[in-house]
Amino acid sequence: MEKRKDGFLIEKGPQEKDFIFGTRAVIEALQSDREVDKILIDKELNNDLIKTLIRDAKAAQVPVVRVRRQS
């Protein structure tokens, strides 16, 4: 079950996915061997932490997709 921001609990089905937000959180997920389907990264981000994330994703054979942030 997942706790939503409005306080209600919802049950996740077997095919539903979790989303992880934040560069460090995604790096930690990769390093903990958590199953990650793909990683979306803002096209305009290119700092040392992003480079670490991309390197770790390649090592874990997780596809990385560079996307444009919508405003």
DSSP state of 15: T
Q: Is the pTM of this model over 0.85?
A: no
pLDDT, tens digit (0-9, with 9 covering 90-100), for 14-54: 667 788 889 999 999 999 978 889 999 999 999 999 999 99
- Please state which CATH class domain 20-71 belongs to: alpha beta
Element (H, E) at 3: strand 2-3
Sort 50 into a burial class: Cβ within 10 Å, 0-12 / 13-18 / 19+. middle
